[in-house]
Structure 1
């Protein structure tokens, strides 16, 4: 089972969160992360953020990253969106 936790923060407070589960064995880790991020953005009514080099580095090191205003094309009403892998096969 692969589970990705998406959290939206505003003023250092958790505003929204969701856990996306994926047990499709045909997808690799990267595809599961991208698909999970898209599902999180649909649930939170957001555009899909852009992966900056620093975001990719953080995710590779910690299986966790934050998407700030720099990662979004449109204006966001919160401080950052954080995703974290909480379970992998």
Structure 2
């Protein structure tokens, strides 16, 4: 099973956490990641962030990245959203 964790941080503390599970292995890994990110953002009532080059490189290397204010089109009330693949 593919699982991805999303965590919101504010002032160095975790304020919200969510895990998305994707069981459809007919989709590519990229599709599963994007679907999981969308589910996490819906749960946390956030707009889906934009993938910037640093996010893409970090996620490709470590399966983890942090989306900061520059990845969102609207102002945010937290420091960053961290996503991490926890099981494939």
Question: For the superposition of Structure 1 and Structure 2, which TM-score range results when normalised by the shorter chain?
Answer: over 0.9
Which residue matches 1:21? 21
Pairwise CA distance, 1:57: 0.5
Matched residues in 2 for 1:25 and 1:72: separation?
29
RMSD between aligned residues: 0.4
State the 1:28 CA deviation: 1.1
**21-30 or 71-80: bigger deviation:** 21-30
Alignment length (residue pairs): 88
Q: Deviations over 1:23-73 (max 9, x none)?
A: 102111100000000001100001010000000001001100000000000
TM-score normalized by the length of structure 2: 0.98
Structure 2 SS opposite 1:76: coil
Q: Are 1:63 and 2:63 an aligned pair? A: yes
TM-score, structure 1 as length reference: 0.97
Matched, 1:7 2:3: no
What is the distance in 2 between the residues matched to 1:56 and 1:50?
Answer: 10
